[in-house]
């Protein structure tokens, strides 16, 4: 049951140029559930990837307002977590989840 909860907390990895530069400093970025706390995120990452988490930083990215053929639309809000791992730990983002 807790394994399923971990997948509800950590939704997907964020793979951008900026997030891959963070992996050089043992930092990995994930999209997480809006209601997830830092403790939930830490437990989920440790449970899914078998690593030791040093700290978790979170941010909420507001969705942009966009227009398509004159119709206004809005992208959804996203919560991201930047997870810093202990020294010697690493995550292979391309495999596992």
Is residue 90 in some structural domain? no
The neighbouring-strand residues paired with 71 are 68
Q: pTM to 2 decimals?
A: 0.85
Is residue 95 in some structural domain? no
**What are the 10-residue block averages of pLDDT along the chain, 97 residues in total?**
79 92 92 95 92 95 94 95 93 68
Is residue 20 in some structural domain? yes
Of the candidates 29, 11, 9, the residue with the CA atom closest to the CA atom of residue 19? 29
Structural domain boundaries, residue 47: 2-85
Is residue 47 in some structural domain? yes
Is residue 68 in some structural domain? yes
- Coil, helix or strand for 14? coil
pLDDT, residue 1, reads 40
pLDDT, residue 2, reads 66
* Close Cβ partners of 37 (under 8 Å, ≥ 6 residues apart): none
pLDDT, residue 54, reads 95
pLDDT, residue 95, reads 65
Q: Residue 28 belongs to a domain with what CATH number?
A: 3.30.70.330
pLDDT, residue 93, reads 76
Domains in the chain: how many in total? Answer: 1
């Amino acid at each position: 049951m807790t394994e399923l909860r971990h997948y509800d907390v950590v939704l997907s990895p964020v793979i951008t140029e900026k997030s891959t530069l963070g992996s050089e400093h043992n930092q990995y970025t994930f999209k997480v559930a809006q209601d997830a706390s830092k403790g939930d995120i830490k437990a989920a990452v440790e449970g899914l990837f078998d690593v030791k988490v040093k700290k978790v930083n979170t941010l909420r990215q507001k969705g942009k307002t966009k227009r398509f053929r004159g119709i206004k639309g809005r992208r959804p809000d996203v919560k991201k977590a930047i997870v810093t791992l202990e020294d010697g730990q690493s995550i292979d983002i391309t495999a596992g989840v």
